[in-house]
Amino acid sequence: MRAILKQGTSVRVRRVPVPEPDAGEVLIRVAVAGVCRSDVNAALGLVPCADPLVLGHEFSGVIAGLAPDVRGFAVEDRVTVMPVIPCLKCERCAEGDTECCPYHERIGFRRPGAFAEFVTVPAQVVHRMPGALTFREGAYAEPVCSSLGVLKAEIKPPDRGLVHGADRTARLTERVLRSYGFTSLDVRGTGTGEDRAERIPSDTYDFVVASEPRAEVLDEMIRVARPGGRVIVRGRPLEPVAIDLDAALRKEVTLESVSYGAFAESLAFLSQENEPVSDLLGSVRPLEDFEDVFSAESESQRLKSFFCPNFAAIGTEEIEAWARLMCPGAR
């Protein structure tokens, strides 16, 4: 099969063997796989990863095979996958918060990912897709799950909030908060326009969400949070971040870090009638376009791009059928 393989400093589309499901695993034929900034960081060697490694962690597809001990799934089920594989032994896992297991292994970082025609994953992280979801929406469940993490912070709907950022992650987080009843929300980015965060008076918000954990951003968020307010930190920095802790202490601002909400809840969010993410989803490209797709993702995170790894391998009719399933207008 074809896969985007990182090996040392080289990243190329290569032929690799189709993986076989081990005990407890399923084999998935990948329909689409979303491209995330963290995939680009992995490709550039900026995050620790297995080597060699098939990249890609946000995906949907159909089950193509199962280990004999797997129950509850069948070949041809349409599925999406939570790429965090929990340890199932720690306290968080015992509490049912498996998405936030600190001892997890990640698909596309530690084990082979989904920028490939097929991928094997443990059945425990596989979720059947609700019928109304397109493959692109299914593949977008992981970013939604990450935005849902914000709701774990100690905030409630009458609170006034700021979502910092101008990219699709900020827009998604705003939509998640609005759908959970937060109506008093602003979204501002760093930039030169009217909507830049620097124009906000100090001590304005009950809570602020910082998706881009850079020192300048966090200091700015501490400034605009009210005394006693909260700065919710999401998004992983590549390096340690030095912030003005004294400013936070003076105002007793709580810094709260969140990673994921519940994956099942992200499928429920995506299944809403109003198609809450359709305008955030971009084009579907063959694996061979990866250089273009990765550099576009580095420059702007406006729309989510996807690979369709099986595009070159299947016939026109199948492509048509898959395209219909992938097109949000053709539910």
Where do contacts with Zn ion occur on this chain (CB under 5 A)?
Answer: 36, 58, 86-87, 90, 93, 101, 103
- DSSP string of 10-31, one letter each residue: EEEEEE-PPP---TTEEEEEEE
- Which residue lies nearer to Zn ion by CB, 93 or 197? 93
What are the residue ranges of helices labelled H in 225-289? 245-250, 263-270
**Nearest distance in Å: CB 141, Zn ion:** 10
Q: Hey, what are 187's tokens?
A: 């979204």
Give the CB-nearest residue to Zn ion: 101
Q: Please say which residue, 18 or 90, places its beta carbon nearer to Zn ion.
A: 90
Minimum distance from CB of 203 to Zn ion (Å)?
Answer: 33
Nearer to Zn ion, 46 or 321 (CB): 46
> In the bound complex, what is the minimum distance in angstroms from residue 155's beta carbon to Zn ion?
23
Quote the least distance from Cβ 100 to Zn ion, whole Å: 8
- Is residue 238 within 8 A of residue 215, CB to CB? The reply is no
**Cα–Cα distance, 309 to 205 (Å, whole number):** 44
- Output the smallest distance, CB 317 to Zn ion, in A: 32
Rounded Cα distance between 204 and 237, Å, is 26
Distance, CA of 174 to CA of 84 (rounded, Å): 24
DSSP 319: H
Kindly tell me which of 50 and 90 has the beta carbon lying closer to Zn ion: 90
103 vs 313, which CB is nearer to Zn ion?
A: 103
Q: How far is the CB of 95 from Zn ion (least distance, A)?
A: 10
Q: Which is nearer to Zn ion, 103 or 245 (CB)?
A: 103
E-strand ranges in the chain read 2-7, 10-15, 25-34, 53-54, 58-66, 78-81, 84-85, 105-106, 118-122, 126-128, 161-164, 185-188, 205-210, 225-233, 254-257, 281-285, 304-307
Q: Is 87 helix (H, G, I), strand (E, B) or coil?
A: coil
Among residues 105 and 289, whose Cβ is nearest to Zn ion? 105
Taking the C-alpha atoms of residue 258 and residue 148, their distance in angstroms, rounded to an integer, is 9
CB of 77 to Zn ion, least distance (A): 23
CA count, 13 A, side-chain hemisphere, 52: 13
